[in-house]
Amino acid sequence: MPDDAGGAFATWVVQGVRPAGAAPLGRAVTRRRTLTTDDYFAGVLARDSVILGRAITLIESNAPAHQVQAQELLARLMPHTGRSRRVGITGIPGAGKSTFIEAFGCHLTDAGLRVAVLAIDPSSTVNGGSILGDKVRMEKLCRRPAAFIRPSPSGGSLGGVARKTREALLVCEAAGFDVVIVETVGVGQNETTVRTMVDFFLVLMIAGAGDEMQGIKKGVIELADALVINKADGDNRPRATAAQSEMRRVLHYLHRPPDGWTTPALLASSITGEGVPGVWQTTEEFFKLTQASGALAARRQAQAVEWMHALIMESLRNRFYATPAVRARLSATERAVAEGRMPVFAAAMELLKGA
């Protein structure tokens, strides 16, 4: 998506608000001017939702010129970041993540907080873009002036987290959002990647899904700061209560609370809203405890270092595959490996020698 179209697209589709002066849907949209770094910087700090969306589009772009400008913008925004509460929400498919986030976000905005949601959508297998279908369900939250929802394609990233999600999070912080929520694709243990960029990691579960489905979440549960048994309403309430008791026993054996924090298992219903305020109260208690102990600052410092190493690895990988010698031999080497004519390890070492 072009740099100057991303913000408007995100605003129209996700927030349901047509930017002032923009053509109505169904009519041609006049190309808007390219923004300078000063324009982006001023717009983000002014909490302009259209420019905020365009800034995130700039960051997500793979165009070399956009990447340079994005890094310039991030460097200028850095002094204005770090004040938001970063919350990661994950769960198996069908756990009701989008519905819960809407109820959770509405509760926060009702309390006078500004909320940004970075919702990582599965990438389309056709064009690699964001499918977006799950996000248009947040109709109530979309209409809140204090809310901003940005869907981004996962792009096949490990952890169900878009490659530039960390940088998008910083832009939202600079825009003055009190809470930034990162929602991941529910794809299994690899989604623990989101844990490396948030302060509070919440895992949604449902009663009656079966161990064969939720057993894959063991690695996630060990990292969770809170578990929420969602859909605890109606006839499902007794099953949810039983699941809560079971998860409390599991947490007792699996989880080693850092700095005195004990991971709770909570009940909530996104439909009735019951339990949602309690989830936020638990979140506030977590921040109060970890800020006082210094654990929150230590966690963010460790995440920043890990982020640096991740970017180094990404850069080295890109440079390796861009090397002319590697590009010239890659297809033939892949065929040799696929046909069993060359061991995988030997093929990898051969390409590395030519890099």
pTM recorded for the entire structure: 0.81
More confident residue, 50 or 128: 50
What's the CATH number for 81-292? 3.40.50.300
Count of alpha carbons within 13 angstroms of residue 180, beta-carbon side: 25
How far CA 301 is from CA of 61, 287, 289, 311, in Å, comes to 27, 16, 17, 16
Spatial distance between the Cα atoms of 221 and 190, rounded to a whole number of angstroms: 12
Average pLDDT across the chain, whole number = 82
Q: Report DSSP state, residue 139.
A: H
Q: Which segments of 195-309 are extended strands (E)?
A: 200-206, 226-230, 265-267
Q: Tell me which fold the domain 302-354 belongs to.
A: Helix Hairpins (1.10.287)
Domain boundaries, the chain: 3-78, 81-292, 302-354
Residue 102 has pLDDT above 50, yes or no: yes
Residue 65 has pLDDT above 80, yes or no: yes
Q: Which CATH class is domain 3-78?
A: mainly alpha
Could you report the per-residue pLDDT of 230-246, keeping only the tens digit for each? 999 999 999 999 989 98
